[in-house]
């Protein structure tokens, strides 16, 4: 193993550039709501700067830890994250926000365990797949055990319920198992049961059925289930090629729900236009490209799986969020990495890329 003293500076540059764009757009998207609710136009901006500062410090700290150290503590990290995930379901411990019991803590000092279990599972699963690589092509001994653990964690995420985070978690784990060498026929077999399970999840909760019908025809209930996607499209449409100008969004005036969070990309498209939105997508592509290169040139299988898991987790979340905003898939309630306002999600994402940066120091 040859250690390079310098990390992938292009990767770091793209991360910081996306984060900077996100911080600026959080201010633009949230200023009206912040003034109305808190009497301070900069309320969300100041908190986002705090989250970003803590996240960057955490990213730097994590990037100094040799990646192979995580394989020693992966079990304890996963167990700790899983305990928090179970604890959040206990009444009086977990906090209900937006109809989901997804938070644990007190007031502003609260976290989302479902965010942390994603990274904890990537670490644990990467180590497990390395130790059992010789069995991964076998269905019972190699494919079923990591799949069963994945579904168990997914079940607890869905008990909150949090379908958006659950889908990112599930797809990331499937990606890791596939990259580790699982046979495609096993995924084909899984897809049949997965489709049945997905339909049962939708049928079991009326609000999910409403989201599906709203996705198919949002104008059937424009003031109810179709409201979010319609307002998002109303934001994107007038943006045109160059946008209406920074700070000039009309939809953020209490029309677009969560303009600084789940639907921040709609505000970007409205204010910066097609070119601005395309630039943001390009930045994500460049970040994913550098991340994949880190994985390809990683010195061992654990580093490769860890890098692929982190890049895959972020890429999947980006695709789901933007697809929701532009109306390609039903609303799932998931943030846009690096760009959306938030504490747990932003800090966890920056910690994750800190590991990716450390792996880049050992590239071959």
Q: How many residues does the chain have?
A: 364
Name the pTM for this structure: 0.91
The candidate with the shortest Cα–Cα distance to 280, out of 326, 312, 215, 225, is 326
Helix axes 264-296 and 227-239, enclosed angle (nearest 10): 80
By the 8 A CB rule, do 89 and 159 touch? yes
CB atoms within 10 A of CB 13: 13
Q: According to the model, what pLDDT value does residue 330 have?
A: 78
Q: According to the model, what pLDDT value does residue 2 have?
A: 53
Strands (E), the chain: 94-97, 100-106, 109-111
Using CA atoms, how far apart are residues 258 and 192, in angstroms rounded to an integer? 35
Residue-range domain boundaries for the chain: 9-360
Using CA atoms, how far apart are residues 349 and 75, in angstroms rounded to an integer? 20
Using CA atoms, how far apart are residues 260 and 235, in angstroms rounded to an integer? 13
Q: According to the model, what pLDDT value does residue 58 have?
A: 93
Q: According to the model, what pLDDT value does residue 102 have?
A: 77
Two tokens, residue 146: 């990591």
Using CA atoms, how far apart are residues 264 and 340, in angstroms rounded to an integer? 6
Q: According to the model, what pLDDT value does residue 62 have?
A: 94
By the 8 A CB rule, do 294 and 259 touch? no
Spans of the chain, pLDDT less than 50: none
CA 27 vs CA 55, 66, 75, 245, 345: distances in Å: 18, 36, 39, 14, 18
Q: According to the model, what pLDDT value does residue 63 have?
A: 93
**DSSP bridge pairs for 79:** none
Two tokens, residue 306: 């860890």
Q: According to the model, what pLDDT value does residue 206 have?
A: 62
| Chain centroid, CA 110 distance in Å | 18
Q: What tens digit of pLDDT does each residue of 207-256 get? A: 666 666 666 677 776 776 678 888 888 888 888 888 888 888 888 888 88
Q: According to the model, what pLDDT value does residue 74 have?
A: 92
Q: According to the model, what pLDDT value does residue 303 have?
A: 94
Q: What tens digit of pLDDT does each residue of 57-101 get? A: 999 999 999 999 998 899 999 999 999 888 888 877 777 776 677
Using CA atoms, how far apart are residues 26 and 244, in angstroms rounded to an integer? 17
Q: According to the model, what pLDDT value does residue 109 have?
A: 65
By the 8 A CB rule, do 292 and 357 touch? no
């Amino acid at each position: 193993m040859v250690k390079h003293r310098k990390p992938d500076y292009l990767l770091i540059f793209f991360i910081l550039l996306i984060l900077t764009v996100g911080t600026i757009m959080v201010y633009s998207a949230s200023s009206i709501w912040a003034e109305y609710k808190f009497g301070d136009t900069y309320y969300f901006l100041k908190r986002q700067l705090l989250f970003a500062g803590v996240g960057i410090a955490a990213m730097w700290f994590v990037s100094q830890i040799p990646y192979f150290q995580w394989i020693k503590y992966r079990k304890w990290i996963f167990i700790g994250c899983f305990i928090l995930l179970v604890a959040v379901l206990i009444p009086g411990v977990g906090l209900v926000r937006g109809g989901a019991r997804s938070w644990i803590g007190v007031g502003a000092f609260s976290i989302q365990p479902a965010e942390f279990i994603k990274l904890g599972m990537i670490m644990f699963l990467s180590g497990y797949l390395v130790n059992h690589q010789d069995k991964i092509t076998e269905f019972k001994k190699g494919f079923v055990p990591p799949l069963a653990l994945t579904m168990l964690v997914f079940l607890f995420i869905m008990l909150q319920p949090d379908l958006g985070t659950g889908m990112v978690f599930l797809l990331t784990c499937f990606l890791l198992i596939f990259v580790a060498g699982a046979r495609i026929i096993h995924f084909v077999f899984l897809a049949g049961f997965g489709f049945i399970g997905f339909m049962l999840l939708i049928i079991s909760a009326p609000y999910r059925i409403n989201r599906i019908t709203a996705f198919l025809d949002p104008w059937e209930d424009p003031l109810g289930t179709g409201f979010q996607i319609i307002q998002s499209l109303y934001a994107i449409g007038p943006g045109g090629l160059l946008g209406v100008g920074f700070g000039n969004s009309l939809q953020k005036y209490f029309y677009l729900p969560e303009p600084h969070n789940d639907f921040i990309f709609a505000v970007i498209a409205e204010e910066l236009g097609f070119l601005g939105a395309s630039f943001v997508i390009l930045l994500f592509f460049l970040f994913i490209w550098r991340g994949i290169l880190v994985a390809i040139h990683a010195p061992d299988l654990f580093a490769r799986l860890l890098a692929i898991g982190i890049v895959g987790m972020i890429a999947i979340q980006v695709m789901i969020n933007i697809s929701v905003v532009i109306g390609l898939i039903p609303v799932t309630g998931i943030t846009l990495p690096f760009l959306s306002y938030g504490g747990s999600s932003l800090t966890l994402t920056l910690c994750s890329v800190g590991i990716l940066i450390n792996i880049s120091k050992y590239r071959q």
